[in-house]
Amino acid sequence: MCGIAGYTGPKEADSVLTVALERLKYRGYDSAGLAVLAEGDVGIRRAPGKLKNLSDLLAAKPLRGHTGIGHTRWATHGAPTECNAHPHTSNDGKVAVVHNGIIENHEHLRRELTAKGCIFRSETDTETIPHLIASLYTGDPLAAIRAAVGRLEGSYSLAVVFADKPGHIYAARQASPLLVGKGKREMLLASDLPALLPHAHQVCYLGEGEIADLTPEGIELWSFDGTPVTAAFAPIEITAEAVSKGDFDSFMAKEIAEQPTVLARLVDSRLRAGRLVEPDLGLDLKAVNHIVFLGCGTSWHAALLGKRFLEALARVHVEVDISSEYRYRNPIASGDTLVVAISQSGETADTLAGLRLARAKFIPVVGLVNVVTSTIARESSGMMPLLAGPEIGVASTKAYTAQVMAMYLFALQVAKAKGLLSLAQEESAIAAALLIPELAARTLALCEAEVAEAADLFASAHATVFLGRGGEHATALEGALKLKEIAYVHAVGYPAGEFKHGPIALVTNQLPVVCICPKDAMYEKMLSNLQEVRARAGRIIVVGEQGDRALQDLSDHLFPVATSADHMLQPLLSILPLQRYAYHVARRRDCDVDQPRNLAKSVTVE
């Protein structure tokens, strides 16, 4: 979603801000802009499309000054045009605003401000904000912003500059993340940590309902009601390298390759002296008898596997809910219910709303999140970090496998707390988990040539079907989602047993059907599915054990995967060739794998 950046200090603001916007572009955007303060004036440059268009504009018409704000916009209200791009200004041009979120009462405000003589030049909800602030401004920016936020309904983070307040950036946050970075006699503002690098060494997360005044010397902070708040800074722990592509051609390729390391780190973090250690969740896991997993997209797919782990290992009744559905139901909760909110970003609006709904019903919520400083992490009663490191590619890859592994370890812990896991079972489960990183590395190496070859053949296919049973149904859904989102190929995942109840009508000799066939209890059933597709001349890609003759005979392509000692963990390996397949098909179709069209990394609006 939209990204906000701000800079005040000795450097040229435009150059710091364009780098910061580059670091925010993974969130998804379709236009961008800057406002820079200079000599009692606010200079504005905005451009639709890629950031390069903004850079070209700045090269042709530079903006000089040491204080400024910037924005990458992901259109909600109004098309991605120059006049809808941020910053938006008051009619006298003296107040400029960038905004992330949605102002829900914008139509009402627009009517009111128009009646007072304001002229609107865009279709955005955001434009109400500079007009509103300007109409309330009598020389005290904080008073005007405080009065303005009192009128705004919805979710927002804002950065504001005033032509007559050189060196100052004002910021306000209500339900959308905003971070302040402190450097050497310079302050920065951003929607996400990577945009503060490399200038800032310390970070402060603005709290809900807080207003900040940033100058190169420091920050002053208040709650919306004017009560002073102490800004809490902590060292920034990620490096600029962690948010760069390194030797890879894309973040997605880098993040797929990182999975063995990520999985090893996660398993290690949960072991002490060879035994599982419980993360401090502030919960009596023994008393939990009902778990609700909440997530969206890939995180929801991971939850489907979490359900299988919890039910098999800990015999706990588990529901999996798509966050945007859960939040509008009136879910039943009892004293032994636990909600687990699964989110890479920790900012997904629907999952956050589900969390808040659960907490309002006094249900404990554990956050399974990658970004440990995120809103979901902070609002959860307990936290299980994924430790996957920054995930920049819009398509989730390493966060998915980390989520799946984290849920396996959590299921073992619940089983242990309930006395359902003997020492021998714990040891063998840990041994199986410890093997996964090595098996993942082997799988990535093993499958690459076949995957690339199949992508060459099927890159122009109009649709692809993915079939799997048991835990591999989640893999089928996730494989299909990857192909849809980065290669723009229509793809669907089905439980393989459902295929003959309708979807099999799709099969022709033009349709690639990807069948996930591990050597588990469902293997023979999957062979029958392969026969059914083959009998109708479908093109078969199989994900299965290397050298499996039966699979080779029935398929056009076999994506070989290593075999896990514990069948339950096999989906962690089966998904790897499918991530690579989506990547290769996308490259052959000239798609931008890191920033697919229409998508955002962090979905902070409904």
Q: Is 299 left (phi over 0), alpha (psi -120 to 50) or beta?
A: alpha
Q: Identify the active-site residue in 25, 94, 182, 601.
A: 601
135: three-class secondary structure by DSSP: helix
594 binds ligand F6R (CB under 6 A): no
- Answer yes or no: are the C-beta atoms of 223 and 184 closer than 8 Å: no
Quick note: the x/- pattern for ligand F6R over 469-488, rule CB under 6 A, is ------------x---x---
Choice among 2, 204, 517, 591 that is catalytic: 2
> Measured from the CB of residue 352, what is the shortest distance to ligand F6R in angstroms?
9
Q: Closest distance between ligand F6R and the C-beta of residue 427, in Å?
A: 32
State yes or no: is 2 an active-site residue.
yes
User: Which residue, 46 or 301, has its beta carbon nearer to ligand F6R?
Assistant: 301
Among 89, 124, 396, 555, binds ligand F6R (CB under 6 A): 396
Among 124, 176, 345, 401, binds ligand F6R (CB under 6 A): 345
Q: Shortest CA distance to 51 belongs to which of 76, 77, 30? A: 30
> From the CB of residue 82, how many other CB atoms can be counted at a distance below 10 Å?
15
Closest separation in Å from C-beta 22 to ligand F6R:
20
- 227 vs 206, 210, 396, CA distance in Å? 14, 9, 40
Q: How far apart, in Å, are the Cα atoms of 269 and each of 32, 344, 410, 415? A: 40, 18, 13, 19
Residues near 268 by beta carbon (within 8 Å), at least 6 away in sequence: none
Q: What are phi and psi of 154, to 5 degrees?
A: 125, -160
Pairing mode, if any, of strands 365-369 and 382-385? parallel
| Cβ atoms of 287 and 336 closer than 8 Å | yes
Instruction: Pick between residue 159 and residue 487 the one whose CB is nearest to ligand F6R.
Output: 487
Residue among 35 and 593 whose Cβ is closer to ligand F6R: 593
In terms of CB distance, is 124 or 397 closer to ligand F6R? Answer: 397
Contacts of 121 (CB under 8 A, 6+ apart): 83, 127
**Site residues for ligand F6R, window 202-261 (CB under 6 A)?**
none
Distance from C-alpha of 235 to C-alpha of 221, rounded to nearest angstrom:
19
Count of residues binding ligand F6R (CB under 6 A)?
14
With CB under 6 A as the contact rule, the residue among 344, 375, 595, 604 that binds ligand F6R is 344
Tally of CB atoms within 10 A around 274: 10
Query: In whole angstroms, how close is the CB of 234 to ligand F6R at the nearest point?
Result: 22
Q: Which distant-in-sequence residues (6+ apart) come within 8 Å of 2 by Cβ?
A: 27, 29, 71, 72, 73, 74, 86, 98, 99, 100, 101, 191
- What mask of x and - would describe binding to ligand F6R in positions 356 to 395, judged by CB under 6 A? ---------------------------------------x
Residue nearest to ligand F6R (CB): 297
Map the footprint of ligand F6R across residues 283-302, applying CB under 6 A: 296-299
Stretch that binds ligand F6R, among 122-130, 146-154, 161-169, 343-351 (CB under 6 A): 343-351
Task: Point out which residues bind ligand F6R (CB under 6 A).
Answer: 296-299, 343-345, 348, 351, 395-396, 481, 485, 603
The residues assigned a catalytic role are: 2, 601
